[in-house]
């Protein structure tokens, strides 16, 4: 019996998601201790968790008890933090889990999902896992969504159920205008607005649209503790969803998806708002400084404007992949590189601590 024939053919055909090399593995490979590595490749928060988040975990007493499936206390705290009705909120094992959950609820095989690449890699991944058809409407040269093309695709293509919008968009950091978001919301599709990095954009006056979910039956807004609160390793994200969708998501999610430590850390972080704000400010200051130095002093990199905690740079006159490897192997500086349609020969650099920016710039000048 060839049991491989049991496997869904679309899963066999699916390309695996290529995560970055794990930190510990890379540290061993490079022969450098983790604290010497300048890790600017995954938009993590280099300041780590807020002191109150760590304290909350240290004081945790119920690690032997399963967590609350509804994350009631955390949703109430998030309701206050986001000014949103906690009944619209759902907490997940990172925003990643929520992307998957929404698609699991709404997609039947062959239903279509519109994405505007370049954007976050989990949108095509979760679409494929959920047997959806992935339809791409490429972004314009300045990384804006091509709204007329999205409208046209929905008018002319059957079974489009979901449109992804990401603001700030990963990997370039651009935002979506209010007018464009309103045009998307007028379409007969579910709009998933991914605001994983919104706190960084807020420094420049952009506002979260999480409060729009109460007025729009076709809007979901995703947020996370990974970037703002330095909890990427604990996996905790959340979102606001219209009631018709949220109740089905609650029905099919793993009951204990958010573990006790992650719950405690997230609650602790929300009690440390001054600390979080200070670090967001520091990272945005660093991003601005980094963009300025790159523009003025590194002639082979052209940074794109960003409202997030990273900067996308076009690489000219040299190969982005080779540059990434050189920075990594010779200087212990990690950046993300891209070489694909719409993003050929680019690197993305996350904002770090001031001393990390110094090491980055020294390496970029030396390579």
Q: Which residues bind ligand PLP (CB under 6 A)?
A: 43, 94-96, 120, 166, 170, 194, 196, 224, 226, 232, 237
In terms of CB distance, is 150 or 232 closer to ligand PLP? 232
* Cβ 194 to ligand PLP shortest distance, Å: 5
CA dihedral (116, 149, 210, 86) positive or negative: negative
Taking the complex as a whole, the smallest distance from the CB of residue 324 to ligand PLP amounts, in Å, to 17
- The pair of structure tokens assigned to 341 is 């349609």
Tell the smallest beta-carbon distance from residue 224 to ligand PLP (Å): 3
Q: Between residues 123 and 212, which has the closer beta carbon with respect to ligand PLP?
A: 123
Nearer to ligand PLP, 82 or 331 (CB): 82
Taking the complex as a whole, the smallest distance from the CB of residue 169 to ligand PLP amounts, in Å, to 7
The alpha carbon torsion through 170, 175, 178, 179 (nearest 10 deg) reads: -90
- Alpha-carbon distance 325 to 328, whole Å? 5
Residue 224, classed as helix, strand or coil, is strand
Instruction: Tell me the residue nearest to ligand PLP as measured from the CB.
Output: 94
| Cβ(308)–Cβ(200) below 8 Å | yes
CB of 170 to ligand PLP, least distance (A): 4
Q: Are 365 and 359 in contact (CB under 8 A)?
A: no
Judged by beta carbon, residue 126 or residue 328, the one nearer ligand PLP is 126
Q: Least separation, in Å, of the C-beta of 225 and ligand PLP?
A: 7
C-alpha span between 245 and 239 (Å, rounded): 12
Q: Which residues of 66-87 are buried (b: 16+ CB within 10 A; e: fewer)?
A: ebbeebeebbebbbebbebebe
Do the strands 336-340 and 343-350 form a parallel or antiparallel pair, or are they unpaired? antiparallel
Are 313 and 305 contacting, i.e. CB atoms less than 8 angstroms apart?
A: no
Nearer to ligand PLP by C-beta: 189 or 236?
Answer: 236
Could you tell me the smallest distance in angstroms from the CB atom of residue 227 to ligand PLP? 7
Q: Please identify, using beta-carbon distances, which residue of 120 and 200 lies nearer to ligand PLP.
A: 120
Strands of 336-340's sheet in order across: 301-303, 310-315, 343-350, 336-340
Pick the closer one to ligand PLP by CB: 126 or 331.
126
Secondary structure of residue 110 in the 3-state scheme: coil
């Amino acid at each position: 019996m060839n049991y491989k024939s049991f496997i869904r053919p679309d899963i066999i055909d699916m390309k695996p998601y290529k995560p970055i090399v794990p930190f510990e593995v890379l540290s061993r490979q490079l022969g450098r201790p983790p604290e010497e590595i300048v890790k600017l490749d995954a938009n993590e928060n280099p300041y780590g968790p807020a002191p109150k988040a760590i304290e909350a975990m240290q004081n945790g007493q119920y690690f032997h008890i399963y967590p609350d499936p509804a994350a009631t206390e955390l949703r109430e705290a998030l309701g206050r933090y986001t000014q949103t009705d906690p009944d619209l909120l759902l907490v997940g094992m990172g925003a990643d889990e929520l992307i998957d959950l929404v698609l699991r609820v709404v997609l039947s095989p062959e239903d279509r999902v519109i994405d505007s690449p370049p954007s976050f890699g989990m949108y095509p991944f979760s679409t494929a896992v959920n047997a959806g058809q992935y339809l791409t409407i490429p972004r314009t040269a300045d990384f804006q969504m091509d709204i007329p093309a999205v409208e046209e695709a929905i008018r002319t293509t059957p079974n489009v159920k979901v449109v992804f919008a990401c603001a700030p968009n990963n990997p370039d950091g651009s935002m979506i205008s209010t007018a464009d978001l309103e045009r998307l919301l007028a379409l007969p599709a579910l709009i998933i607005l991914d605001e994983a990095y919104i706190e960084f954009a807020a420094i420049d006056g952009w506002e979260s649209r999480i409060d729009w979910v109460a007025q729009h039956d076709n809007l979901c807004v995703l947020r996370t503790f990974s970037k703002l609160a330095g909890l990427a390793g604990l996996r905790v994200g959340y979102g606001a969803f219209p009631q018709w969708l949220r109740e089905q998501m609650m029905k099919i999610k793993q009951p204990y998806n958010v573990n006790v430590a992650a719950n405690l850390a997230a609650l602790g972080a929300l009690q440390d708002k001054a600390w979080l704000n200070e670090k967001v400010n520091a990272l945005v200051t660093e991003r601005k400084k980094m963009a300025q130095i790159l523009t003025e002093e590194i002639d082979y990199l052209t940074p794109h404007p960003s409202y997030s905690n990273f900067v996308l740079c076009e690489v000219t006159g040299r190969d982005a992949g080779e540059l990434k490897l050189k920075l990594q192997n010779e200087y212990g500086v990690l950046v993300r590189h891209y070489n694909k349609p719409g993003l050929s020969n680019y690197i993305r650099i996350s904002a770090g601590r001031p001393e990390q920016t110094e090491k980055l710039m020294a390496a970029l000048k030396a390579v």
